[in-house]
Amino acid sequence: MTINIETVDVTNALNDIDQFCDIPNARISGEIFYRSDIYEQELEKVFARCWLFVAHESQFKKAGDYIATTMGEDDVIVVRQKDGSHRAFINACPHRGNKVCFSESGNARGFICNYHGWSFDIAGNLIGQHESGVYEDSNFDASQWGLREVPLIDSYKGLIFANFDAQAPSLKEYLGPMTWYFDALFDNQEGGTEFVGGCIRSTMDCNWKIAAENFVGDILHAGWTHDSAARAMLGGAVSKVSDFDESYSVNWNGHGYEFALDTVGNVAVLGESALNKYLHTIKPSVAERLGDFRSNMIGSVSSATIFPNFSFLPGQNTIRVWQPRGPNKIELYTWVLVNKSAPEDIKEKWRKGAMMTFSPTGVFEMDDGENWEYCTKTARGKVTSKQHLYVGLGPDTLLKDTDLPANVYAGQLNEANSRAFYQYWSDLLKAPNWKAVPDRNVGRTEAGESAAQCVNKEMG
Amino acid sequence: MKQIFLCKAGDLPSETVRKVENAEYGDIAVYNLGGQFYATADLCTHATASLAAGDIEDDLIVCPVHWGTFHIPTGEARGFPCEVGIKTYPIKEENGDLYALIEAPEQQAELIAKG
């Protein structure tokens, strides 16, 4: 089947970007969380151009297995093919645009539109219609009217990403050296990872960037925001992050990861000692596989975002996508990730732990939701929305002589990742195409000798 | 009565269907259901589709296009959107060869008139 998707024409950049996103001066304005014209620009210049997470490989077992999700506000279906590959299609019939798949996941022979009976096979080909004779009489060319395919799809360690922009850089180039850190969660054991249980869906009345930025580099909020939740789950306060001897904020192309090296600070808040024990048990084999440095990250106080809207917490093992639903609303898609090789009771404890902490009724989620909603809602005030917001912590923390890959900053109590996130966002809003996006990366493209020692053989 | 060669019985595994092209009487679908052979018209009565490209579920053939169903032994339409049944043909097995027995068109017309 030929690629039959029309690309989105990029409209001119807004002329006041530097006013609402002034990173050299470490300032943003609340209007970025509320203005609908900014949101429209995001849909075309961020969500229609960036690599977006669509599914995990463990969600597919056989041909015809599918996941329905969204890329930005575009409904898509990801379908496993007979050859084991995955393809993504717009979940809309090419005749009158009706949705062709209404369930979230399952196995299907194909997809039949409810409106006029257009029928598509799992490869997206249009294979028939109700009253097929009238199409034959109209010299209808069915080969031109298959489901519209998302041009790019690729995966990294089980995570499947898709991209509407055929001119985009490869997923490998897009993620860059950040994958070295991602492996601490996604490749710390033989056999890789899987999702356990289903997708938890919920909504918040906040802008998607507030949530994405919280995970890209904001551990600062935890000790204050989550104090009561931590007391409920742990019987004590959140670890005092400034007491850690060594911690980092790293970023690349707007993605970011902030972390300490305390191994189990994140997992501890699930209140299940068996999970702490599991991580301590696997730690020596992680050290053998990934090196000592990353074996300290498997459940440490940490968080990460892959630009624009895919985030995760190692330790809590919560994975989420902040699906934009207008400038001041998100739909959260949340899953729990575990090592495939973990014992079943450990997987189950992680699933329950996520329900207790990071789900619509989770004690941590509610803490965050309240804050994020009001960060958004205050910007409803016209005057308030124009006021500057401070993102200046950690101005001179870039580490120039480190063997760690990507742009590396000392300390996780640091807004370097938030600045990098908003800078990349602003660069995309200005750029008419991918070639015009400036490369602001200054760090190593791969781990140097001291960081890479003891890495597994696959990585060479 | 016309005898049309379909295939060798040994070439059609159990629970499978294959299409035999026939310009004169229309393509024929031949089925093996647990060692019992059946033949029906291959063209779906609802919309243009080859039933042989569909899945067998018990004794039903599921049309690959709109997933309507027909009862393989009798040709009855069983599931939406199929309303009109498909023709069935008696099978003759001779020296391991399968044949469909098709009545000549005039005989068919006669049957319909009597019908």
**Number of neighbours of residue B10 by Cβ within 10 angstroms:** 9
Looking at chain A, the whole-number percentage of residues with pLDDT higher than 90 is 88
Checking ipTM against 0.90, whether it exceeds it is no
Q: How does strand A65-71 pair with strand B91-94? A: unpaired
Q: How many domains would you assign to chain B?
A: 1
pLDDT value for A235:
83
Backbone φ, ψ for residue B88 (5° rounding): -115, 155
Contact at CB, B47 and A127, closer than 8 angstroms: no
For residue A112, the Cα-to-chain-centroid distance in whole angstroms is 30
pLDDT value for A9:
75
Distance CA A9, CA A432 (A): 9
Nearest to B47 among A109, A121, A128 (CB): A128
Mutate to test the interface with A, among B43, B55, B66, B83 (most CBs of A within 10 A): B66
Q: Within an 8 Å CB–CB cutoff, is residue A114 touching chain B?
A: no
Confidence of residue A302 (pLDDT cuts 50, 70, 90): very high
Distance CA A418, CA A289 (A): 30
CATH number for the domain that contains residue B52: 2.102.10.10
Q: Within an 8 Å CB–CB cutoff, is residue A137 touching chain B?
A: no
Chain A: closest CA distance from residue B90 (Å): 29
Q: What does the pLDDT average to over A207-232?
A: 94
Distance CA B42, CA B52 (A): 6
Chain A: closest CA distance from residue B86 (Å): 17
pLDDT value for B110:
52
pLDDT value for B114:
47
Distance CA B112, CA A364 (A): 75
Distance CA A144, CA A158 (A): 32
What are residue B31's DSSP bridge partners?
Answer: B17, B38
pLDDT value for A103:
96
* pTM for the model: 0.93
Q: What does the pLDDT average to over A296-307?
A: 97
Confidence of residue A354 (pLDDT cuts 50, 70, 90): confident
What are residue A53's DSSP bridge partners?
Answer: A161
A452-456, B52-56, B68-72, B102-106: least confidently modelled range: A452-456
Contact at CB, A131 and B47, closer than 8 angstroms: yes
Contacts of A109 in chain B (CB under 8 A): 55, 62, 64, 67
Report how many Cβ contacts below 8 Å link chain A to chain B: 33
Distance CA A244, CA B57 (A): 62
Distance CA A382, CA A51 (A): 33
Contact at CB, A117 and B48, closer than 8 angstroms: no
Summary mean pLDDT of chain B: 92
B88: containing domain: 2-114
pLDDT value for A452:
63
The pLDDT tens digits of the residues spanning B23-81 come to 999 999 999 999 999 999 999 999 999 999 999 999 999 999 999 999 999 999 999 99
Q: What does the pLDDT average to over A420-448?
A: 96
Contacts of A132 in chain B (CB under 8 A): 47-49
Contact at CB, A128 and B66, closer than 8 angstroms: yes
What type of residue is A21?
Answer: C
3-class DSSP state of A385: helix
Asked if residue A3 has pLDDT above 80, the reply is no
Q: Within an 8 Å CB–CB cutoff, is residue A130 touching chain B?
A: yes
Q: Within an 8 Å CB–CB cutoff, is residue A295 touching chain B?
A: no
Q: What is the H or E stretch that residue B4 is in? A: strand B2-8
Mutate to test the interface with B, among A121, A132, A138 (most CBs of B within 10 A): A132
Confidence of residue A459 (pLDDT cuts 50, 70, 90): very low
**Number of neighbours of residue A25 by Cβ within 10 angstroms:** 11
